[in-house]
Amino acid sequence: MRYYLLRFVLIFGITFFGTSVNKIYAQTQIDFSFEKTSPNHSVLVLPEWHPVIKTIRELDSIPSEMILGFDDDSLVSGDLVGIFYNDKKNRLKCASSIVWKEDDFNMIPVWGEHPPGSDNGMEMGEKMIWLAQKKKQYNLSN
């Protein structure tokens, strides 16, 4: 099992983007449910103040492009955070999600495609799309 240390990428409400190319998705509803397939890896998300972040920076053990994030954590406990991918029909599908724990580390297992060709999880090398849904819902129709 591989672990990645990241400071979380902030995404507000239903403004979505990927890590390499910004995109806005017009999808009526985002489903944060996912299928637990057998192959996976985990993403460890630590707050910027966590002692492990300081140690890693001192050791310079992770390339700078592996650490993503923002300065002020605006996510609060109870917000939904998910890692998504585009399926073969270019729809957003959830590979994993958690209920965010503020001021704590958050471990997210990212589920892979299994069996091969089933399009039910992430494939090796596929771009992770991070989405967050605030606990407090906003009516965007007005």
Per residue in 71-83, pLDDT (tens digit) is: 455 788 898 889 9
pTM equals: 0.64
**Range of the structural domain that residue 38 is part of:** 3-133
Query: Between β-strands 40-45 and 3-6, what pairing exists: parallel, antiparallel or unpaired?
Result: parallel
pLDDT at position 84 is 92
Contacts with 24 (C-beta within 8 Å, 6 or more apart), sequence order: 15, 16, 17
Does 141 reside within a domain?
Answer: no
pLDDT at position 43 is 80
Residue-wise pLDDT tens digits, 95-137:
999 998 887 778 888 888 888 888 888 888 888 888 888 886 5
Q: Number of folded domains in the chain?
A: 1
Does 138 reside within a domain?
Answer: no
Of 106 and 62, the one with more pLDDT:
106
